[in-house]
Amino acid sequence: MFGLFKKKDPIKALEQQYAKMMEEAMHIQRSGDLRAYAQKITEAEELQQKIEEMQKAK
């Protein structure tokens, strides 16, 4: 009941999004579309940098 009033950790949400992006990248790579894979990995790396910046600021 008291969990309703807790603020969610934005870093945790971004980490979950990062994990999802990496899984999508894996599936793209297995399908053979290397350009789309490279683009997805680049997006994931940018998100990872944002996560690291937020952790340092914390």
Domain boundaries along the sequence of the chain: 8-57
pLDDT at 58: 79
Tell me: the pLDDT tens digits for 5-27?
677 888 999 999 999 999 999 99
pLDDT at 6: 72
Of 47, 53, 43, residue with least CA distance to 15: 47
Tell me: the pLDDT tens digits for 33-47?
999 999 999 999 999
| pLDDT mean across residues, the chain | 92
32 to each of 28, 36, 38, 52, 53, how far by Cα in Å? Answer: 7, 9, 11, 30, 33
